Copies of this chain bind each other. A is one copy, B any other.
């Protein structure tokens, strides 16, 4: 019913017959074997027969002949919950394909047994290396199996010396968020941080302070507050924001900003005229579709994935620390 329309698959023997050469010659040309003495005319004839017949070489056999696979493993911990992991995979795949590699993607949803199985599968397929990624930026313990292969961490890092990692520049991102408010003329800018300890929590706050200082504005500690990093947390913090008289607020993420919008709307406070709101993450389904559309700072997931592959293949250098830091660009919409 649904099998091949093409009938019997084309074999190397068919190519050899069509080109009038031996199967060994076809194999040498197809596998691009170094040291094989084959004239340009013969090579051309084989290549023409390959194209004419639609012969597809067996990639697994080629890998064995060449002595190395063209796989890169990618472990992701949450492709089913957020679009973030998908963006990392998208970037990693584009970069891998560009260099002739295929991604072996494994999703673990944070499950240790699935992670172990994923890494074992990748080692059995003799991957060139493994990209180990998390959906939010954090410190990780290296799984022991991971160190059996070449590896690069993406959107996470380890404290073990020399482990290469590609992470978002949280400090720069915090600075960019505050700068969006400063550029719009604000001087009393609130900062709604998360209650959850994380590199994002620490880094973005440093960036916020830096930006205010660089603009000659005082840092008023009462304008810095913590809340749950979701819509409910944003909604809950609105009374404090209004009481402290901020004219702009940088939120820990777009979900918090969405909750702030709800709280402000209930009180008849307009965005951005009464209060400018700035998000973080650029989570498309939220940020682009709030009323008004949310000005925010993008997490560079695509670029994290692409850079991870480049670092693994030795195409990008890392700093002495092993860390590559990727900028978080501003996304200007209508809320600030």
Counting chain B CB atoms within 10 Å of each CB, which of A6, A230, A283, A289 scores highest? A289
A159 within 8 A of B: no
Among B90, B102, B152, B290, contact of A121 (Cβ-Cβ < 8 Å): B102
Tell which of A74-82, A194-202, A217-225 binds the partner. A74-82
Among B6, B286, B301, contact of A286 (Cβ-Cβ < 8 Å): B286
Question: A61 with B58: in contact, given A79-B89, A86-B107 (CB under 8 Å)?
Answer: no
A226 within 8 A of B: no
- B148/A6 in contact, CB under 8 A: yes
Tell me the complex Cα distance, A125–B223, Å: 57
- B69/A80 in contact, CB under 8 A: no
- A109/B125 in contact, CB under 8 A: no
**Interfacial chain B residues near A78, Cβ < 8 Å:** 86
- B2/A150 in contact, CB under 8 A: yes
- A60/B125 in contact, CB under 8 A: yes
> Whole-angstrom distance from the CB of A1 to the nearest CB of chain B?
4
Counting chain B CB atoms within 10 Å of each CB, which of A78, A80, A106, A231 scores highest? A80
A-side interface residues, number (CB < 8 Å): 71
A162 within 8 A of B: yes
Tell me the complex Cα distance, A152–B2, Å: 8
The residue of chain B having its C-beta at the shortest distance from the C-beta of A262 within the complex is B291
- A4/B147 in contact, CB under 8 A: yes
Interfacial residues, chain A to chain B (CB-CB below 8 A): 1-6, 56-61, 63-64, 69, 78-83, 85-87, 89-90, 93, 97, 102-107, 109, 117, 120-121, 123-126, 147-152, 162-164, 230-232, 235, 255, 258-259, 262, 265-266, 283-286, 289-291, 301-302, 322
Q: List 24 A-B contacts (CB under 8 A).
A: A1-B164, A2-B151, A4-B148, A56-B123, A57-B124, A58-B64, A59-B121, A59-B124, A60-B125, A78-B86, A79-B79, A79-B90, A80-B89, A80-B302, A81-B83, A86-B86, A102-B121, A103-B105, A104-B104, A105-B105, A231-B289, A235-B291, A265-B266, A285-B285
